[in-house]
Amino acid sequence: MPRSGHWQGFDWRRERMVHRLEHMGIHNPAVLHAMASIPRHLFVEEALRSRAYDETALPIGLAQTISQPYTVAIMTQLLLAAGKTGQEKVLEIGTGSGYQTAVLQHIYGNNVYSIERIFELHQLAKKQLRSVGASLVRLAYDDGYAGLPHEAPFDRIIVTAAAPELPLALLQQLAIGGRMVLPLEEANGVQYLWLIEKTPQGFHETCVQEANFVPLINEQDEEF
């Protein structure tokens, strides 16, 4: 039976992607449901849409990329590992195309804030999030290193670009009991994905796996 609807032809590719993610160790039902629900092909350039559900990062312009599906899924699963009350306040650093943002909004509702440093991507993400019904995410065009101190504390923070060290401002804006997931790049250029948990006694850091992200841009870096 032929499929119908605005996203005709991509449903089966998205289903295959979700099955692949399950085999790769993504087991949280909320993450799998979000990945099955968000049309990733609407967040990539039209010429690349046939590859939207492949296990690969894709360029979105301005030397930036949309992360591969597994990366989005594992980072989201790490955030959710502590459970969800429905009241969590979530901060994303690096809106990019808006795909990870849409996944977060699907899970956490309208308590999602996202910062993008590149103005063209900030504007693009606004448009693409509206197209999938996620327009109530609070988007900011600002320096991700600084976070959003006027909205802190945040229960969950996710950083989608690699920094050479933990941004102090983001640690300060993480709530007690909160979780932050981010990639960090070592001096030799190798990146690792880290989980940071904030307890009343301090921070607990867990190295999860090797990673590959674009650099986290701050106000001292080149403007686009």
DSSP state for residue 145 in the 8-state scheme: G
The three-point CA angle 175-142-184 to 5° equals 60
State the amino acid at position 143 in one-letter form: D
The reply to whether 131 belongs to the active site is no
> Can you tell me whether residue 33 is helix, strand or coil?
helix
The residue annotated as part of the active site, out of 67, 97, 131, 135, is 67
Please name the helix (run of DSSP H) or strand (run of DSSP E) that holds residue 206, with its range, or none: strand 202-211
Contact assessment for residue 137 and residue 129, using Cβ atoms and an 8 Å cutoff:
yes
Query: For residue 14, which phi and psi values (nearest 5 degrees)?
Result: -65, -40
Contacts of residue 73, defined as CB under 8 A and 6 or more positions apart, other chains included, come to: 21, 24, 26, 31, 32, 35
Q: Which residues pair with 91 in a beta bridge?
A: 113, 157
Q: Could you say which DSSP state residue 198 is in?
A: E
Q: Which residues are known to be catalytic? A: 67
